[in-house]
Structure 1
Amino acid sequence: MLHGRLLGGLAARAIEERCAEPGLRFARLTVDLFRSSPMLPVTVETTLVRDGRRIRVADATISTDLGVIGRAAAVLLREGEQPGGEQGVVTPAWDAPPPSGPPVDGGVWTPPFDLWRLSGRDEPGAGRVWMRERHPLVDDEPITPFVRAALAADFASPLSNSGTDGLRFINADYTLTLARVPAGDLIGVEATGHLSADGVATGQVTLHDTAGPIGFCLVTALANAAPLGGR
């Protein structure tokens, strides 16, 4: 079926194609996943919601022959002078060096991207991975840094919501926030929180590139009776 990462990536691509401008930085992308869809042609329609001097907001609607299957909203913010002084809380760079060996291959699930696990599959503790896209999202078109981040962000759900017996939650959305877009093709994802009660969950991850942390992703999820493949 069409996975959420593809829908988010296509929405990010369409909004970037219409709204990108030097000096405006993609700061947030929220992707709502309404329903599953088989592998059908996808249409993405964008709407410019606000076009201010410092803030630009755009929406995207994602459809197939089944109707609307998802939507997205992006916020672009104007770059400016960085304030002085020290922040009260600063997310540290993680201690995971860039991968040097081959990515995981085969097993229970072979991902459609290169994946290096830094934590054991379905083991207690925070999930941590490096990932890298190996296929173009659109034929003969390079993946931009913003789209690369949007594709990686969907991995927040399995990474933050997996348990020791697999993934028992399926996410309904994800919200990616970025201080900057990734440099290079490697993105690190580290689970930094999970809460759940009565079959409803929320999870969060921190995203990194080889230079340091770049942003966060938050997901909401529903309990799924049968465990899916974990992180």
Structure 2
Amino acid sequence: MSSSAFFTQKGDEFVPAPHARGPWSPDMLHGRLLGGLAARVLEERHGEPGLLFARLTVDLFRNSPLLPVAVETTLVRDGRRIRVADAVISTSQGAIGRVSAVLLRKGEQPEGERTVTTPPWDEQPPSGPPAPGRGGWIPPFELWQLSGWSLPGPGRVWMRETHPLVDDEPLTPLVRAALAADFASPLSNSQPDGLRFINADYTLTLARLPEGELVGLEATGHASADGVATGQVTMHDTAGPIGFCLVTAVANPPMRGTR
């Protein structure tokens, strides 16, 4: 993993590096990093052995230039089997996002067969080099494209992070999943002539945390009308499915050749 982190922590703020920008504008913070940063802070302050971050909803309601970021959290509920915590992400320009996390107590798995199950996908871990970047934005992570954007059928990718999120801290499995989850939008909303929707949020649900560095995503749904879209993906690691991600998105000028 590169030593060039996306953020440097200075006091209560996280100062972004130039490569923390996203694909839509050269001076805009990438939304995937905000979700990952909120997950990192929520896990640090409210995580506990035996509790699983079963849901993480990231609302990205305001774009921000590359400014220092602060994350404030609130413990909403702390019960025997459930813990709920919220976070507000802000810069000097005000709040730019909010996050809600649900942590559930692990317990004994019920016996018997489930009537609905998500099977492991048949994609093997990547053995060759990742896809080269195209266009004006080079993804600061490794991406193996397993299906063509312009072809019918579900889009599939493997992803692997190449940079620390904050300073030289190793990525936790939760942060790795939160960073990958944002890719649900381009994967489920892409079309042959480019990406025409920018996501306003994403909701990650997990039955377990990912094992290892690879996270796989498979687009399993898209619906859109009047410039509003929703999409969904199933998330995998090399051992099998780990959860799902649902996004909402709004029509935006097309982004071509950047993914």
TM-score by length of 2: 0.87
Shift of 1:161: 0.4
Shift of 1:120: 1.4
Cα distance in 2, alignment partners of residues 160 and 101 from structure 1: 24
Matched, 1:31 2:58: yes
The aligned amino acid for 2:188 is S
Matched, 1:151 2:179: yes
Contact 2:51–2:103 (CA under 8 A) maintained in structure 1: yes
Q: What are structure 1's unaligned runs of at least 5 residues? A: none
Shift of 1:89: 0.6
Shift of 1:228: 4.8
**Runs of 4 or more consecutive aligned structure 1 residues displaced over 4 Å after TM superposition:** 228-231
Percentage of matched positions with identical amino acids:
78
Cα distance in 1, alignment partners of residues 257 and 116 from structure 2: 34
Which residue in the other structure is 1:73 paired with? 100
SS in 2 for 1:158: helix
Matched, 1:175 2:203: yes
SS in 2 for 1:191: strand
Shift of 1:134: 0.3
Cα distance in 2, alignment partners of residues 121 and 90 from structure 1: 27
Aligned with residue 218 of structure 1, among 234, 241, 246: 246
Cα distance in 2, alignment partners of residues 228 and 35 from structure 1: 23
Cα distance in 2, alignment partners of residues 105 and 97 from structure 1: 20
Q: Show CA shifts across 1:1-38 (max 9, x none).
A: 11110000000001000111111111000000011111
Contact 1:163–1:230 (CA under 8 A) maintained in structure 2: no
Shift of 1:229: 4.7
The aligned amino acid for 2:119 is P
SS in 2 for 1:107: coil
Which residue in the other structure is 1:209 paired with? 237
Query: Where do residues 76-115 of structure 1 align in structure 2 (5 Å cutoff)?
Result: 76-108=103-135, 109-115=137-143
Contact 2:149–2:191 (CA under 8 A) maintained in structure 1: no
TM-score by length of 1: 0.97
The aligned amino acid for 1:74 is A
**Aligned-residue RMSD, C-alpha:** 1.1
Cα distance in 2, alignment partners of residues 229 and 173 from structure 1: 23
May I ask how many residue pairs the two structures share in their alignment? Answer: 231
